[in-house]
Amino acid sequence: MNLQFVSNESGKITAIQIPIQEWREIERKLKSIEAQEWQGVSAEEIAAIEAGIRDVEEGRVVPNEEVLLISRELRKKRA
């Protein structure tokens, strides 16, 4: 593989360039691996995961600590 290294002004490597044909082969292999990882996962599970990712991306999330506090409060009310 013919790699080209890109460095900043202080000599630190910041990127690597590879030929496009080799990159496309890497992408093809990654897609195959990803497809294998999703085998056996139901459409409903995939939809739930995708919805969760959208919620995170759009800032609609609640920190775990807040969920735990809410849960504790609910338990106290039931007791």
Digit-coded pLDDT (tens) for 23-70 = 999 999 998 888 888 788 888 888 888 898 898 889 888 788 888 888
- pLDDT at position 10 over 90: yes
Contacting residues for 8 by C-beta, under 8 A, at least 6 apart: 14
The pLDDT value given to residue 17: 93
Give me the mean pLDDT over the 11-21 stretch: 93
61 DSSP 8-state letter: -
Question: How far, in Å, CA of 16 to CA of 9, rounded?
Answer: 15
